[in-house]
Chain A
Amino acid sequence: MGKLKIAVYWAASCGGCEISVLEIHHHITQLMDAADLVFCPCLVDTKYADVEAMDDDAIDLCLFNGAIRTEENVHLAELLRRTSKTLVAFGACASAGGIPGIANASTLEALMERVYLTTPSTDNPDGVMPQPSTDMGEGVRLTLPKLLPMVKALHHVVPVDYTVPGCPPEGKQVWRVIEAVVSGDLPPPGAVLGAGDRTVCDECRLEKRDTKITAFVRPHELIPDNTTCLLEQGMVCMGPATRSGCDARCPDVNMPCRGCYGPAGDGFNEDAGLKMIGVLGGLLEPGNEDALRSLMDEIADPVGTLYRFGLPGSMLGRAAQAPGNRDDAE
């Protein structure tokens, strides 16, 4: 058997997942002994045409990161599905939509207007908007891929073999995934790789003392005491609703968990945001009706807080895509 062929592609992503592949540190030499990087726009100068020319299943492992935002993302997802034996949704964006997925809380029109016309730092007096196709004269036509009406996760457009959550996935977990693929010791397709099946709290060293809270605070408003559960100090820590596997790195340094590993348990049937509402409700110091409501009003931006990494993949996020609520250009 020759060397394995590996592809790492970025769709709507930030590039952090590519960095997380480097987080395997010295193992990178072992990886390069065992595998060739046949397609990775971030690191290797290969063109889409090179992949289009490949046979079906020519790539052994494709780590696909990034959400599906544009028609180009869909094209590459379909292309890499055809050419890859094992297609992995790598990182929070490909798994569930990630940070780009929060855009689904808004319509595409409102989003374009905000980004290109109305943010305080925008200087666009002529109201120039990006166009899918622009005639430059002299027979030159420039094109941009069209945006989809909604951000999607990878599994919404093509079948996915495995999911590796995290923003980005932890280095040691990435190595574990690569080892599993190289050795062929893989669970049945559909499984979540490179993560635990419990919650972040399970790995967190901070202690719960069953204290009720009377105010919510944001990370910049409080220096936590370093021993007590961050929730009980009034921070919205997503730990109880988030899959383990990261060694609770954020709460370990007094930053509340933001939920990047996605829902715990049978991930796709759980909704981390809704579970988290359950957790928060149990934390409040009992009081009268107004006190309880105003306490819950202190939580800034429920969508961005509870669904920071997985709105399109969540149960509620799919509801928000209901045809009656959203324009669907398809």
Chain B
Amino acid sequence: MAYEPKLLGILCHWCSYSASDAAGAARLSVPANLRTMRVMCTGRVDPTLVIQALQRGADGVLICGCHLGDCHYNSGNQRALGRFHLLSRLLADLGLEPDRVRLEWVSAGESERYAELAHHMTKRLRNLGPFQWPTLDTATTEVIRNG
């Protein structure tokens, strides 16, 4: 079977989750590669969540929030932007592919843009191939932690 990437979408409740809802209601095509997770705000997205997603089998993560200035909590998406930018720098420095993680602004009315992003990101991951997570060292760690 051909490789199909797994994409995790982390969607802000106030904008992007509504956009994804509207995309469904409008019967827009959204690739089945995308699994979504709702959070109250992109400001809640701890970078640990993103890396954990990759660790547990996702090939990429798409974080969607309100446009700057539209955050329901005023500055949550600005925090997300700062974190995401530093995380990207870190991933690049470590030789990991920063393109696997993407932050986009999608308002409640932009359901078409949401569907487009999902297609675009899936295509990008298909080109990148599966994210490889090592088993070499983690296996030993697990044994000790459980023993």
Pick from B14-22, B29-37, B136-144 the stretch touching chain A: B136-144
- The reply to whether A325 and B83 contact each other, CB–CB distance below 8 Å, is no
Contact pick for B144, options A190, A301, A320, A323, CB 8 Å: A190
User: Quick one: which of B119-147 are within 8 Å of A by CB?
Assistant: 131-134, 136-138, 140-141, 143-145, 147
Query: Which residues from B are CB-within-8-Å of A157?
Result: 140
CA distance A327 to B73 in the complex (A): 45
B140 adjacent to A156 (CB under 8 Å): yes
* Known contacts A190-B147, A277-B86, A280-B83: A315-B51 contact under CB 8 Å: yes
Whether B51 and A299, one on each chain, are in contact in the complex, defined by CB atoms closer than 8 angstroms, is: no
- Inter-chain contacts of B94 with A (CB < 8 A): 105, 303, 316-317, 319-320
**Are B134 and A323 in contact (CB-based, < 8 A)?**
yes
Cβ–Cβ contact B82 & A281, under 8 A:
yes
**Which of A277, A297, A319, A328 contacts B133 (CB under 8 A)?**
A319
CA distance A160 to B144 in the complex (A): 7
- B96: which of A270, A273, A299, A320 is its contact (CB, 8 Å)? A320
B-side interface mostly: helix
Q: Which residues of B contact A277 (CB under 8 A)?
A: 47, 83, 86-87, 90
B81 at the interface (CB under 8 A from A): yes
Contacts of B144 in A (CB 8 A): 155, 159-160, 190
Name B49's closest neighbour in chain A (CB-CB): A274
Cβ-based interface call for A318 (8 A): yes
Contact bitstring A284-325, B, C-beta under 8 A = 1, else 0: 101111001101110101110010000010011111111111
A287/B78 in contact, CB under 8 A: yes
A302 with B90: CB separation less than 8 A: yes
Chain B proximity of A111: nearest CB distance (Å):
13
Residues of A within 8 A of B145 (CB): 190, 268
Question: How distant is the Cα of A326 from the Cα of B94 in the complex, in angstroms?
Answer: 10
Q: How far is the CB of B3 from chain A (nearest CB, A)?
A: 14
Which of chain B's residues has its CB closest to A282's CB?
A: B79
Q: B141's contact among A155, A320, A330, by CB below 8 Å, is which? A: A155
Residue B80 at the A interface, CB < 8 A?
yes
A85 at the interface (CB under 8 A from B): no
If the complex has contacts A271-B48, A323-B132, are A281 and B93 also in contact, measured as CB distance less than 8 A?
A: no
B54 within 8 A of A: yes
Inter-chain contacts of B85 with A (CB < 8 A): 292-293, 296-297
- Is A275 interfacial (CB-CB < 8 Å)? yes
Partner of A320, one of B78, B89, B95, B138: B95
When distances are taken between beta carbons in the complex, the residues of chain B under 8 Å from A328 are: 136
Does A281 lie within 8 Å of B95, measured CB to CB?
no
Q: Does A189 contact B (CB under 8 A)?
A: yes
A105 with B51: CB separation less than 8 A = no
Assuming the contacts A280-B83, A295-B82, A299-B86, asked whether A159 and B132 have C-beta atoms less than 8 A apart, the reply is no
Q: What chain B residues lie within 8 Å of A258 (beta carbons)?
A: none
Q: For window 120-176 of chain A, which residues contact chain B by CB distance below 8 Å?
A: 152, 155-157, 159-160
Q: Are B86 and A155 in contact (CB under 8 A)?
A: no
Scan B34-62; emit 1 where CB is below 8 A from any A CB, else 0: 00000000010011100110110000000
Q: Report the 3 A-B pairs with minimum CB-CB distance, sorted nearest first.
A: A281-B83, A324-B132, A274-B47
| Other 20 A-B pairs with CB < 8 A, given A297-B85, A299-B89, A319-B133 | A155-B144, A159-B144, A268-B145, A271-B51, A277-B87, A277-B90, A280-B83, A284-B79, A287-B78, A292-B82, A297-B89, A301-B93, A303-B93, A312-B137, A316-B51, A318-B137, A321-B136, A323-B132, A325-B96, A328-B136
